[in-house]
Structure 1
Amino acid sequence: MASHRKSRPTGPRVAGIRTPALATAALTSVALLSQTANATPSDDDRPSLEEVEKKVDDLYRQAGSATEKYNAAKEKTAKQRKKADALLDDVARRTQRLNDAREELGSFASAQYRTGTAVPETATFLLADSPQDYFDQNQLMGRLTGRQKTAVDDYVTQQSETMEKRREATESLETLTDSQNDLKTAKSTVQKKLATARELLSKLTAEEKARLAAIEKKKQEEAARKAAELAEQQARQQAEERERREEAARQESGGGTSSGSSESGGDGSSGSSAPDPSYGTKADKALAFARAQIGKPYVWGATGPGSYDCSGLTQAAWKAAGVSLPRVTYDQVNAGTTVPVSQAQPGDLVFFYDDLSHVGLYIGNGMMIHAPKPGAYVREESIYYDGESSIHSVVRPA
């Protein structure tokens, strides 16, 4: 008798189940796709360490620029809020005076009505938008005493002034709203830039982080070398300046002069000017304050005392010396006299980048104290920390 069993299908087993050849091929494709999806991206797909470094540096710089815009918007918002509050207080005082004047005029109208010296409808002037329209009528104005007419004139004037102040207050509140929106936008921009930078750094392997640290160390060594060169140049200038002054003093004491002993130097170039004693005293106070902040964290928008951003630190330092600086870098750069880098003196402000998004406090020998960037702390560093081309200008604020 023939067997009724079905013949076993050929093909490999998958998870204990035999599968047809077509299904096997499909499962193989899925497995390969799954492996591809889970595999680490190839080196060709990942940005190089140099690209990551450049991107992160750019993001920090953009965040710095956005921070200064945030600082400006915050300062503008504070001023606008103060102005709006003052206007609203003024409107409240004027409204109270207007109500008092309205009550006084109401008493006049009531008295006239009781004595029959005025038609009843004259009292309705108090409910009108322009009471003067009623008082301009000859039959009413003729019945008013001099004191009463003066009260009417004062009331109309106060009403007009109060309406104008209310208009100013409304406009001020609208400007305040615009400033607040600018503040929110700048804050959001800073946060997004910093979040992107942190995300890029978080994806680096331990080996890449070590290589990045080595690259940073090399940059610091080059920056230190440039600072040492500047220190030598400034020392030569100061020595030459002393020699010129000593020579000029000898010539003066000897009753003669020498054409080569002018203040500008024999080659016609201007040497390093002698430090102004009064400036030096103020600069010492600013530097003493800045040094006391070393080690405190950079926090964007911060002005101390526990943390600072770059312009918050320079503003606070010079405030300690009795000099008021504006809040943001692109205002601070206009708060003094611009000098060449070669003639920078301790206390001068060193600005960086075309957008003036960073500033530090020069301490001499090519070095500065500054609040560098998020994740870093107030520290001493070469003014060439980001290359010579990054320096925008040097400003002497007092």
Structure 2
Amino acid sequence: MLSAAAALGAVPAQGAPGADTRAEVDRLYAEAEKATQAFDKADERAGRLRREVRDAQDHIARQQQRVNDLREQLGSVAGAQYRSGGIDPTVALLFAADPDDYLDKASTLDRIGTRQARRLAELQSALRDLAQERAEAAGKLAELEKSRQAVAAHKRTVERKLARARRLINALPAADRAAYTRASRDSRADLPGPRGVPAPDGRAAAALAAARSALGRPYVWGANGPSGFDCSGLMQWAYAHAGVHLPRTSQEQRFAGRQVPLSQARPGDLVVYRSDASHVAMYAGNGQVIHAPYPGAPVRYDPVGMMPVSSITRP
């Protein structure tokens, strides 16, 4: 997110009409972006938990079917055993017309008993596994509910701060509001796209090409493309086009590669801003970055020094 002070360039912050309002809008946008990153992280966790719960439920259904099958097999064996061996063996021998036939039947009953015992052991094991999986699934469902609540809380925070910023901007005198809009919300026509600056490798080149293709698309908080982006969503989307999976948040993206000094930045590097790493952009060469600034400002080029740089990461 480009700060209002940086966006307004040479306009002095002190004494300028609406300066306090612009500073407050700056602060609200920064806090909203920090909350957006928290929203992204919670939303990503909720999505992962939803997949894990769905997989667990599918596995439980298969395990339940196995338990049902084992119970049916045990029932069939028990029925056969009752029909064939319900008479005491010594009494059956007295009434047997053919002792050899009796011995064959007795041998069969022994085998049925062994198989039944094995099926019973399998059933007991399956029931234990099923109970454990159900307990784990219940735990994941509880975690999922907490993540959903966190997502909702962060969403409310972002919306509240953005609404406050919009009210402040709308309350500016018409001339100040127009100046603010021109300086901080229009595409930076004074910054032509970098030319002739090579990326260090094919992956960085592919990611940079994807980021450039997103120029002009709107900032949408919590979005990672393709029609809109927040700052870290744009980086994740761009690098996905290079076959590289980046974490969802700017705080995590800061550690998604090798860190280099700003003086060694190359096109495709991630430029992370502020001490809390709440904003991220992509270095495009010639002292410029591509980024999704904040609501109302499209994906665009801006100077790499638009706000304090905390680190440079080469994925």
Q: Name the TM-score class by shorter chain.
A: 0.7 to 0.9
**Is 2:200 the counterpart of 1:279?**
yes
| Contact 2:273–2:309 (CA under 8 A) maintained in structure 1 | yes
RMSD: 2.8
Long gaps (5+) in structure 1: 1-46, 120-141, 225-230, 232-274
Q: What are the ranges of 5 or more consecutive residues in structure 2 without an aligned counterpart?
A: 1-15, 89-109
Return the offset for 1:207: 2.8
CA change 1:113–1:301 in 2 (3 A) is same
Give the structure-2-normalised TM-score: 0.79
Q: Distance in 2 between matches of 1:358 and 1:178?
A: 26
Q: Which amino acid aligns with 1:180?
A: R
Contact 1:112 1:118 in 2 (8 A): no
More relative contact order, 1 or 2 (CA 8 Å, 6+ apart): 2
Alignment-derived partner of residue 374 in structure 1: 295
1:183: which partner in 2? 151
User: Quick one: distance in 1 between partners of 2:184 and 2:232?
Assistant: 24
- Identity across aligned pairs (percent)? 41
Q: Which residue of 1 aligns with 2:248?
A: 327
Other structure's SS at 1:313 match: helix
Partner of 1:363 in structure 2?
Answer: 284
Q: 2: distance between equivalents of 1:278 and 1:187?
A: 36
Deviation digits for residues 301-354 of structure 1 (CA, Å, limit 9, x no counterpart): 111111111111111112222222111111110011111111111111100111
TM-score by structure 1 length?
Answer: 0.63
1:71-116 alpha-carbon deviations (Å, 9 max, x no partner): 1111111110111111111111111110111122122333344456
Q: Name the residue aligned to 1:384.
A: 305
Counterpart of 1:59 (choices 28, 32, 43) is 28
Cα contact 1:67–1:186 (8 A) shared by 2: yes
Instruction: Kindly state the Cα deviation for residue 363 of structure 1 after the two structures are TM-superposed.
Output: 1.0
Q: Whose Rg is larger?
A: 1
Distance 1:297 1:52, change over 3 A: same
Pairing 1:22-171 to 2, within 5 Å after superposition: 49-115=18-84, 117=86, 145-171=113-139
Count of residue correspondences: 273
- Pair 364,118 (structure 1): closer, same or farther in 2 beyond 3 Å: farther
Map of 1:234 onto structure 2: none
Q: Secondary structure of 1:381's partner?
A: strand
Picking from 234, 241, 244, the partner of 1:313 is 234
Structure 1 distance, partners of 2:124, 2:206, is 57
- In the TM superposition, residue 210 of structure 1 has moved relative to its aligned partner by 4.3
Residues 337-376 of structure 1: CA deviation (Å, up to 9, x unaligned):
1111111111111001111111110011211010000010
Distance in structure 2 (CA, Å) of the matches to 1:306 and 1:211: 28
Q: Give the distance between the partners of 2:201 and 2:133, measured in 1 at CA.
A: 48
